[in-house]
C-alpha cells in the first residue's frame, strides 16, 4: 500500500476535544451551556443507534442533550408544534430531526420549519442558499467533516481538480459547494455520467458518496490523488456475517492514491463531531460571540 490512511477516528476525537474546550470557555466566561435537541419519530433501529450515540457524545463535550422520541404515527401538526417550541427555547441552540421520517410526514416541510440559525444539519433551504452563495451558513456535517480532513491533509485546496461522485442534497451537492468555496475546479458525477472512470481519473480529489459497495476501483484513481470515501455499505463476508465497506475498493485504491479515508474509521466519525461543532457555532452566533476557530467552513 502506498497511500497515507487518513485517520478519521483520531481527527474526530481532536474536533470533539476542540468543541469541549469551546464549551468549557462558554460556561466559564459567559455562563452559557450549548444545547442540542434531537427529534426521533418512530423506531427505525439504525436511527435509534444514531440518536443514542449523538446524545452520548453531546453530553461528553459538556453540552445539554435534549431528546424527543415521538410515536411513529405522530401527526405533522404535532411535530411542527414541537419544532416551534424548540425554535423558541433559548436553551436550545441546535435542532436535529433524525431522517428518514415516516412516509406520512413531509421531510422538506419539517426541515424548513426549523429556525435556520438552529439548523445544525444544514438542510434548511436558507442554509442551502447561503452556502451556495458563499455566505455564512450552517454546513451539513458529513461534507464539513470531509472538508476538514482535506484541509488538514493538503493545507490549501486551491486549483485542485475535485470530482464528487453523487449529487444528493445531504452529501454530494454541499460537498461540491464547499470544494468550490475552497477554489477547487469541481465536477459532480452521478448515475447518468458518461465514462465515469475517465472523469474520476482527472481528479486530484475524489469524494465518493454513492451508496454502492466498493464501486470505485484503483485503476480509476490518478496516482497520488486523495480519496474521501463517504459510503457506508454492509456486505456479506464469505465466512459468514457482514462487514462495512465504503464506495471505493479500499485495497486497490490505496495502491494508487496518495491518501485515502478508510471505512469504517474515516468520514463516519467526523459526522457527529461536526454536528457538535455546528451546535457550538450556532450557540456562539446566537449570543453574538466570536465563532470557534477551525470548526466551520
Neighbouring residues of 23: CB distance < 8 A, sequence distance ≥ 6: 33, 34, 61, 62, 63, 280
Q: What is the DSSP string of 60-103?
A: HTT-EEEEEEE-TT--HHHHHHHHHHHHT-TT--EEEEPSSPPT
Binder to ligand NAP among 4, 24, 158, 191 (CB under 6 A)?
A: 191
Q: Has 44 been annotated as catalytic?
A: no
> Cβ closer to ligand NAP: 56 or 136?
56
CB of 225 to ligand NAP, least distance (A): 17
Q: Has 54 been annotated as catalytic?
A: yes
> Are the CB atoms for 236 and 242 separated by under 8 Å?
yes
CB of 188 to ligand NAP, least distance (A): 8
Which of these is catalytic: 54, 118, 173, 222? 54
Binder to ligand NAP among 231, 276, 277, 295 (CB under 6 A)?
A: 231
Task: Count how many residues are written for the chain.
Answer: 297
Bridge partners, 94 (sequence order): 36
- Nearest residue to 182 (alpha-carbon basis) of 200, 158, 163: 158
CB of 65 to ligand NAP, least distance (A): 19
> Cβ closer to ligand NAP: 147 or 170?
170
Interface with ligand NAP, residue 271, by CB under 6 A = yes
Q: What is the DSSP string of 2-49?
A: -SEEP-HHHHHHHHHHHHHHHHHHIIIII----EEEEEEES--HHHHH
The count of chain residues that interact with ligand NAP, using the rule CB under 6 A, is 25
Q: Has 121 been annotated as catalytic?
A: yes
In a 10 Å sphere around its CB, with 0-12 CB exposed, 13-18 middle and 19+ buried, how is residue 271 labelled? buried
Interface with ligand NAP, residue 212, by CB under 6 A = yes
> Cβ closer to ligand NAP: 192 or 288?
192
Binder to ligand NAP among 113, 142, 214, 278 (CB under 6 A)?
A: 142
Which sign does the torsion angle of CA 172, 178, 181, 182 carry? negative
CB of 250 to ligand NAP, least distance (A): 14
**What's the grid cell of residue 158?**
486551491
Taking residue 264's Cβ as centre, other Cβ atoms within 10 Å add up to: 15
Which of these is catalytic: 98, 173, 229, 249? 98
Interface with ligand NAP, residue 267, by CB under 6 A = yes
CA distance 226 to 26: 36
From residue 151 to residue 170, what is the string marking binding to ligand NAP with x (rule CB under 6 A)?
A: --------------xxxx-x
> Where along the sequence are the contacts to ligand NAP (CB under 6 A)?
142, 165-168, 170-172, 189-193, 196, 209-212, 230-233, 267-268, 271
Residues with catalytic roles: 54, 98, 121
Amino acid at each position: 500500500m502506498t497511500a497515507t490512511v487518513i485517520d478519521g477516528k483520531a481527527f474526530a476525537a481532536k474536533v470533539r476535544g476542540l468543541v469541549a474546550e469551546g464549551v468549557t470557555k462558554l460556561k466559564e466566561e459567559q455562563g452559557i451551556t450549548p444545547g442540542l435537541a434531537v427529534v426521533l419519530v418512530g423506531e427505525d433501529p439504525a436511527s435509534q443507534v444514531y440518536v443514542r450515540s449523538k446524545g452520548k457524545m453531546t453530553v461528553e463535550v459538556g453540552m445539554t442533550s435534549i431528546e424527543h422520541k415521538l410515536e411513529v404515527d405522530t401527526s405533522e401538526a404535532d411535530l411542527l408544534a414541537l419544532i416551534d417550541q424548540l425554535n423558541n427555547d433559548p436553551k436550545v441552540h441546535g435542532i436535529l430531526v433524525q431522517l428518514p421520517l415516516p412516509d406520512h410526514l413531509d421531510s422538506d416541510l419539517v426541515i424548513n420549519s426549523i429556525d435556520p440559525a438552529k439548523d445544525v444539519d444544514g438542510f434548511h433551504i436558507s442554509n442551502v442558499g447561503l452556502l451556495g452563495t458563499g455566505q455564512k451558513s450552517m454546513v451539513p456535517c458529513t461534507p464539513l467533516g470531509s472538508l476538514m480532513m482535506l484541509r488538514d491533509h493538503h493545507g490549501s485546496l486551491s486549483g485542485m481538480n475535485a470530482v464528487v461522485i453523487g449529487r444528493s442534497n445531504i452529501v454530494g451537492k454541499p460537498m461540491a459547494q464547499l470544494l468550490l468555496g475552497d477554489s477547487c475546479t469541481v465536477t459532480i458525477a452521478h448515475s447518468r455520467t458518461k465514462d465515469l472512470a475517465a472523469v474520476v481519473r482527472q481528479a486530484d480529489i475524489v469524494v465518493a458518496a454513492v451508496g454502492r459497495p466498493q464501486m470505485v476501483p484503483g485503476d480509476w484513481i490518478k496516482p497520488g490523488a486523495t480519496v474521501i470515501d463517504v459510503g457506508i455499505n454492509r456486505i456479506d463476508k464469505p465466512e459468514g456475517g457482514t462487514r462495512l465497506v465504503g464506495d471505493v475498493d479500499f485495497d486497490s485504491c490505496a495502491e494508487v492514491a496518495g491518501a485515502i479515508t478508510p471505512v469504517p474509521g474515516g468520514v463516519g466519525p467526523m459526522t457527529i463531531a461536526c454536528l457538535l461543532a455546528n451546535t457550538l457555532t450556532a450557540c456562539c452566533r446566537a449570543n453574538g460571540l466570536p465563532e470557534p476557530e477551525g470548526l466551520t467552513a
